[in-house]
Amino acid sequence: MAIRCVASRKTLAGLKETSSRLIGFRGIQTFTLPDLPYDYGALEPAISGEIMQIHHQKHHQTYVTNYNNALEQLDQAVSKGGTSAVVKLQSAIKFNGGGHVNHSIFWKNLAPVKEGGGEPPKGSLGSAIDTHFGSLEGLVKKMSAEGAAVQGSGWVWLGLDKELKKLVVDTTANQDPLVTKGGSLVPLVGIDVWEHAYYLQYKNVRPEYLKNVWKVINWKYASEIYEKECN
Amino acid sequence: MTTIVFIIVLVIFAANLHDAGATTMDPCLESMKTASLPDLPYAYDALEPAISEEIMRLHHQKHHQTYVTQYNKALNSLRSAMADGDHSAVVKLQSLIKFNGGGHVNHAIFWKILAPVHEGGGKPPHDPLSSAIDAHFGSLEGLIQKMNAEGASVQGSGWVWLGLDRELKRLVVETTANQDPLVTKGTHLVPLIGIDVWEHAYYPQYKNARAEYLKNIWSVINWKYAADVFEKHSRDLDTN
């Protein structure tokens, strides 16, 4: 049963209407873990149900929790005028906020086979891929190679450079979102290459995980983003 | 006749100079030893229940072995690049050398700072390290608490270290990212204890609970190794 995946945000800004005490930075939002659009076991055998459950309920949840904590602390630091404290919090915000952003995209980048996972992109994205990478196989090969070569933890991305109007393959370290590599980059497909994304199933063999994950990549979502950005 | 001999000698000398500039390679590089996977000083299951046999086996035979293999490969490529005078290639290779060489260095230390309980794993350090720890961190528990906190908060992959700063003559707790050895945080730093906080170091057993792994690993930390290294360097520092 597909559950619509929405990053629900409870916002205190809504309280502004009822309370005049809320001013300035107090419009802080708390974030919540988005639901997975499919069952934990739905991506098998490419990604095991065990991995999906831990990845979603533990890793992504922890990023959300710590992100909210960091934002709360930021709010206090800003109102108390503690610039040192504000600056010191940026690392926690970048890491945990980035983790939340990246994983929210990741769940949408994946789909069960019976819901189109692995089906090649059609339309304008399909053509753009052929233009820039020769073929879908060419793109897959490049992304798999770059993903395998990430030193430590990170992500491999297919992105659209809105400014240069071209597709790019790039990697980011840790939980850096794609936008840290360029302000005009829009993520189309992101693949988590942190060890927690594959270790329980593939152990140290990251290339094997990268080979198999393509069977559940949701090209429909990537195409929607691409078409939206191009118009 | 003397002039002819002189000219011949000059020509031979010049020819040798030319050869030296174009083709001579530093013999040190030619005879460079390849790295090899060190044996574990204990059985794969000897650190249980703190670290599972499955993890030790994968960690040693797959991860560390891969660093060794890739490091040797990179060194080979470096050798060729240097012989060709291809400086772009030489520079480009540094990332692979740092990552894989660092992985080899770090893991070679890691196996030594772990020990089965029946071989002293977990037993607190002897002096002079013990006193130094108390002086710098208040107590061994204080040090462990600090290292656990810093290890748990490493963003991504990396290591948490107890090191000796040979210049400042003091103990430090430090973290490094990915496979950066401790020396990348300061050339005077000597690693005494290093704990791998890459997910592969604990995931099959502890899953996402890195803090739990850090809590348990102290029961197999080989303080004897750390204390010996500290003592040796302390002696060296005293005599300088």
Higher pLDDT: A56 or B26? It is A56
* Largest pairwise CA distance in chain B: 87
Q: Find residue A157's DSSP bridge partners.
A: A170, A190
- Chain B residue at shortest CA distance from A57: B208
pLDDT of residue B33: 80
d(CA B144, CA A47): 36
**Contact between residue B177 and residue B98 where contact means Cβ atoms under 8 Å apart:** no
- Check CB contact under 8 Å for B199 and A195: yes
d(CA B124, CA B91): 44
Highest mean pLDDT among A25-34, A76-85, B72-81: B72-81
For the complex shown, is ipTM > 0.90? Answer: no
**Contact between residue A108 and residue A6 where contact means Cβ atoms under 8 Å apart:** no
Mark out the alpha helices in chain B (DSSP H runs). Answer: 2-23, 27-30, 53-58, 65-84, 87-112, 129-137, 140-152, 203-206, 210-217, 223-239
Encoded tokens for B165? 């700063």
- Over range B187-214, report the average pLDDT: 98
B219 in contact with A, Cβ within 8 Å: no
- Comparing CB atoms, the residue among A95, A173, A204 nearest residue B63 is A204
- pLDDT exceeds cutoff 70 at A22: no
**Contact between residue B54 and residue B205 where contact means Cβ atoms under 8 Å apart:** yes
- pLDDT exceeds cutoff 90 at A132: yes
- Over range B106-129, report the average pLDDT: 97
Going A153 to A156 to A159 to A164, the CA torsion angle's sign is positive
- Check CB contact under 8 Å for A195 and B208: no
| B158 neighbourhood in chain A, CB within 8 Å | 152
- pLDDT exceeds cutoff 70 at A103: yes
| B95 neighbourhood in chain A, CB within 8 Å | 151
Quick: pLDDT tens for B224-240. Answer: 999 999 999 988 766 55
- Chain A residue at shortest CA distance from B59: A204
pLDDT of residue A27: 64
- Chain A residue at shortest CA distance from B200: A195
**Contact between residue B216 and residue B202 where contact means Cβ atoms under 8 Å apart:** no
| A91 neighbourhood in chain B, CB within 8 Å | 155
- Check CB contact under 8 Å for A152 and B204: no
**Residue A87 buriedness (CB in 10 A; 0-12 / 13-18 / 19+):** exposed
- Check CB contact under 8 Å for A196 and B156: no
- pLDDT exceeds cutoff 90 at A170: yes
- pLDDT exceeds cutoff 80 at B111: yes
pLDDT of residue A16: 37
Quick: pLDDT tens for B57-90. Answer: 999 999 999 999 999 999 999 999 999 999 999 9
Q: Side-chain half-sphere of B151: how many Cα atoms within 13 Å?
A: 30
- Which residue, among B157, B180, B213, would best test binding to A if mutated, counting the most A CBs under 10 Å from its CB? B157
Higher pLDDT: A27 or A182? It is A182
- Over range A189-209, report the average pLDDT: 98
- Comparing CB atoms, the residue among B66, B178, B204 nearest residue A152 is B178
| A194 neighbourhood in chain B, CB within 8 Å | 156, 199
- Over range A66-93, report the average pLDDT: 94
- Chain A residue at shortest CA distance from B67: A151
DSSP character string of B51-102: S-HHHHHHIIIIIIHHHHHHHHHHHHHHHHHHHHT-HHHHHHHHHHHHHHHH
- Comparing CB atoms, the residue among B157, B204, B207 nearest residue A152 is B157
B211 in contact with A, Cβ within 8 Å: no
pLDDT of residue B105: 98
pLDDT of residue A62: 98
The pLDDT-based confidence of A29 (bands split at 50, 70, 90) is confident
d(CA B165, CA B150): 18
- Over range B37-46, report the average pLDDT: 98
Q: Please enumerate residues of A whose Cβ is less than 8 A from a Cβ of B.
A: 54, 58-59, 62, 91, 95, 151-154, 173-175, 194-196, 199-200, 203-204
The pLDDT-based confidence of B29 (bands split at 50, 70, 90) is low
* Chain B, window 48-87: residues with a beta carbon less than 8 angstroms from a chain A beta carbon: 58, 62-63, 66
- Comparing CB atoms, the residue among A58, A95, A173 nearest residue B208 is A58
